[in-house]
A and B are shown apart, each in its own frame.
Chain A
Amino acid sequence: MKYACELKQSTYIALWFILLTFPIMVVKVNTIENIIVWRWINIVGVGVGAFVLSFFWQLYLRKKMTSQQTAPEKVSILNRLIENPKIYRPALFIVGIFALIFPAVFSHYQVNVMTTALIYVMLGLGLNIEVGLAGLLDLGYVAFYAVGAYSYALLNYHFGLGFWMLLPVGALLAAFFGILVGFPVLRLRGDYLAIVTLAFAEILRLVLENWNTFSFGPSGISNIPRPGFFGINLTPEQSAIYMYFLLIALCGLTIFVTYRLQHSRIGRAWVALREDELACQATGIDKTKAKLTAFALGAMWAGMAGVLFAAKTTFINPASFTFMESAMILSIVVLGGMGSIPGIILAALAITLLPEYLRVFSDYRMILFGAALIIIMVFRPGGLLADRRKQYKFHQPDAKEKR
């Protein structure tokens, strides 16, 4: 039989999993009442589940291995589709139309969820500047997001400044904070940088939580105004739609700016920095400047997203800015494919919409989400849409002669 080997393996794996999950899945102790509940029936579930899953797992893994051996430079179908102008231009057009008519077609709830997803698109693209382009692994990106959100909430509360005034202020404050974080960590590499950014984010969150007179502590700030629309009072639904279009516009701006940045002089310097710090320095790139601009620009988008977030939820407290949030944003960048703008947009939508629509499974949604992260990474380690460097072709009529 063709799959005999896999079937045999799967049987062993299923047995292993039955053994492995035995204490947690089958036994349930109640130490308070001193009762043990034996749930033998779960063994069957684990066994069958593990058998089926491991069978497909091995099948796909083998397929992946063989395809890697035969065609090492194979470009995925998704990538090819997106790079073909005949396909991506009409696709872009359809996506644009869809984005415009979305609020008219779908309910208030859907618009709200989509607005949240768009905030994550901004965050993903912002972090992409740091991680995807400059290769600075940032595990505390959420700090900049918090700076933006709190600067809107607090400046509005104390001075009554409006949304449009504070959007750039929030962005600038976050960028400033980015440089502040960037300075001490200039010498650090790789994972040391990661932990220091994580530490900065945790310190900021703890300060927000404890310094009541400044940030109102864990009870947060409520009644943050939604953005005004030429002084007209909007109903909640109208303002949700307004928020949605605002975010569509700002996402458009983000995409445009990051795209231009990617192919600019500084963008190329970042990529060089990511690939090899020493070699990059040797070619005359100012490492300090490149790193600090990456931090500042990355943080700026997070700051803007933070202002929008505060305006959308109308309430913020430190609970929204935990490490898990940073991890989610990082997952967006890596899942999408580092440096790839369409990939990140796709991943941001997937990561925020997936748990929302997985609500059908209620209790099981987070466990499925965790499993999905592992599965995607194992089978597409480069991300959904891996970035491919733009290739400049040198057209010369007599290229052969030159060789």
Chain B
Amino acid sequence: MNFFWDLFLGGLTRGSIYALLALGYTMVYGILQLINFAHGEIYMIGAFSALIVASILTMQGLTGLSVLILATIATVLYAAAYGFTVEKIAYKPLRQSSRLSPLISAIGMSIFLQNYVMLAQTSDFLPFPNLLPQSNFLDSISSVIGPSDFIIIVTSAAVMSALTLLLKFTKMGKAMRATAQDQTMAMLTGVNVNRVISRTFIIGSALAAIGGILIASHVGRINFYIGFNAGIKAFTAAVLGGIGSVPGAVLGGLVLGLAESFGTGYISSDYESVFAFALLILILIFKPDGILGRSSQQKV
């Protein structure tokens, strides 16, 4: 094992996390052309619900895998419900107005949710229990890759492939893709656009919740503000890959994670985020629609 591989694996872990969150941004953007600034907050709420559910279960005497499974289910459900509600309150009434209005209500929603959690819970950092399972197999590879890194990479990959399959082969996925291409046309062919949008938010939020559990277990602490930074990075990843494109979000997340990891390793961690943003600018100068973005034909 050398320095290079260590950095590579670290970057991969970080990139998988960005990718999981970036998917939520990219799916919403693909359908509504809206930057959902409240997405990072959904991830934060996901982490909080996981902590609360897991603590209750642990205090009831449950341990190990059962806590993880129950907490994950509860968290995914709650985060999805939040995503659904946020869309209904802050975005649906603004469907017809100019593109910037929902952006501002998204910023408002983000401020609201942050302060809601801060007031109802706490402003302090809370330790987050490591929910990820321990096993002999993971211990045996721990010299190569940290157990939580391994689980994050594997889970992210599994979730993202499932999402790709869902979009490709199910009826719901087809309806989503149709809506993304042309909302009016999709409506004419009998797609219930409102339902598709709701489902997009539900799926995106569920992914964010999974990200929340993974990251919180990995980092070991949460507070009400964690959604903000992660949200901006994930959004950057989504744009880097070509916003609106699902494989693009995954690729963007990984590229960003690796860039930060290598930048920190070989240059300096003082400028960690600078590497990410500089890379973004460079790529967009040469490929204005992101790495995998379709270059849309402009018509009058």
- The chain A residues found within 8 Å of chain B, CB to CB, are 16-17, 19-21, 23-25, 27-29, 31-32, 34, 36, 42, 61, 131, 137, 184-185, 187-192, 194-196, 198-200, 202-203, 206-207, 210, 276-279, 282, 323, 327, 330-331, 334-335, 338, 363-364, 366-367, 369-374, 377-378, 381-382
Tally chain B residues at the interface, Cβ within 8 Å. Answer: 71
Contacting residue for A184 out of B35, B129, B285, CB 8 A: B285
Known contacts A24-B121, A25-B120; is-contact A36 B277 (Cβ 8 Å): no
7 more contacts with CB within 8 A, not counting A185-B285, A370-B114, are: A32-B127, A189-B288, A191-B239, A192-B289, A192-B290, A206-B273, A382-B101
Please give, as numbers and ranges, the residues of chain B lying within 8 Å of A382 by CB-CB distance.
97-98, 101
For B81, the closest partner residue in chain A by CB is A20
By DSSP majority rule, is chain A's interface helix, strand, loop, or mixed?
helix
Residue among A29, A207, A277, A323 with most chain B CB within 10 A: A29
Shortest Cβ-Cβ A-B pairs, 4 listed: A373-B108, A370-B112, A370-B111, A381-B97
- The chain B residues found within 8 Å of chain A, CB to CB, are 29, 33, 35, 45, 48-49, 51-53, 55-56, 59, 74, 78, 81-82, 85, 89-90, 93-94, 96-105, 107-117, 119-122, 126-129, 232, 235-236, 239, 243, 270-271, 273-274, 277-278, 280-281, 284-285, 288-290, 298-300
Is B281 in contact with A196, judged by CB distance below 8 angstroms? yes
Of the A-B pairs whose beta carbons lie under 8 Å apart in the complex, a sample of 19, sorted by A's number, is A16-B85, A23-B49, A27-B52, A28-B120, A28-B122, A29-B52, A31-B128, A185-B285, A192-B239, A195-B235, A196-B284, A199-B278, A200-B277, A206-B271, A276-B300, A330-B107, A334-B101, A381-B97, A382-B101
Cα A331 to Cα B236 in complex, Å, equals: 21
Please give, as numbers and ranges, the residues of chain A lying within 8 Å of B89 by CB-CB distance.
374, 378
Cα A131 to Cα B98 in complex, Å, equals: 13
Known contacts A206-B271, A334-B103; is-contact A366 B48 (Cβ 8 Å): no
Is B239 in contact with A195, judged by CB distance below 8 angstroms? yes
By DSSP majority rule, is chain B's interface helix, strand, loop, or mixed?
helix
Is A277 in contact with B101, judged by CB distance below 8 angstroms? no
Is A371 in contact with B112, judged by CB distance below 8 angstroms? yes
Cα A32 to Cα B221 in complex, Å, equals: 12
Residue among A372, A374, A378 with most chain B CB within 10 A: A374
Cα A282 to Cα B284 in complex, Å, equals: 25
Please give, as numbers and ranges, the residues of chain A lying within 8 Å of B113 by CB-CB distance.
370
Please give, as numbers and ranges, the residues of chain A lying within 8 Å of B298 by CB-CB distance.
277-278
For A26, the closest partner residue in chain B by CB is B120
Contacting residue for B126 out of A31, A42, A196, A378, CB 8 A: A31
Is B105 in contact with A378, judged by CB distance below 8 angstroms? yes
Instruction: Name the distance in Å between B288's Cβ and chain A's nearest Cβ.
Output: 5
Please give, as numbers and ranges, the residues of chain B lying within 8 Å of A61 by CB-CB distance.
93
Instruction: Name the distance in Å between A64's Cβ and chain B's nearest Cβ.
Output: 8
Is B108 in contact with A372, judged by CB distance below 8 angstroms? yes
